[in-house]
Amino acid sequence: MTDVTRIIGALENSPTEGAQALAAARHGFLEWVLAAPGPVTARMARDALETPAARDAQSAAARAFVGCLHEASRSLTGGAVRRRAARVRRAELLN
């Protein structure tokens, strides 16, 4: 997880706010993904979230990067199941 610590450390030194902080965070997230040895999984993102650097993120850019990790930590199948269930409920309401 040294890449996460290094990326968050760099983002902590960033004075950016708003859209610029989000852009910096996305750039850092892409750097993290490309540095990974193989495919990035939700488990890897969850592990990254448990690092002290992620837990203690202070700057807007670092917090936005942690937000990217949160999004990546969600299981893809869970969202598909929820969407399908919502479609079924809507169909039941319409009938």
CA angle 36, 40, 41 (to 5 degrees): 145
40 lies in which domain range? 2-94
User: How far is residue 20's CA from residue 35's CA, in Å, rounded to a whole number?
Assistant: 22
* Model pLDDT for residues 37-54, shown as the tens digit of each residue: 999 999 999 999 999 999
Q: What is the pTM of this model?
A: 0.77
**Position of tokens 């996460």?**
4
Instruction: List, in sequence order, the alpha helices (H) in 1-95.
Output: 2-12, 18-35, 42-49, 52-55, 60-73, 76-94
Residue 10: pLDDT band with limits 50, 70, 90: very high
Number of independent structural domains in the chain: 1
Q: What is the pLDDT of residue 23?
A: 96
Q: What is the pLDDT of residue 48?
A: 96
Q: How far is CA 50 from CA 45, 54, 66, in A?
A: 9, 7, 10
* Model pLDDT for residues 79-88, shown as the tens digit of each residue: 555 666 677 6
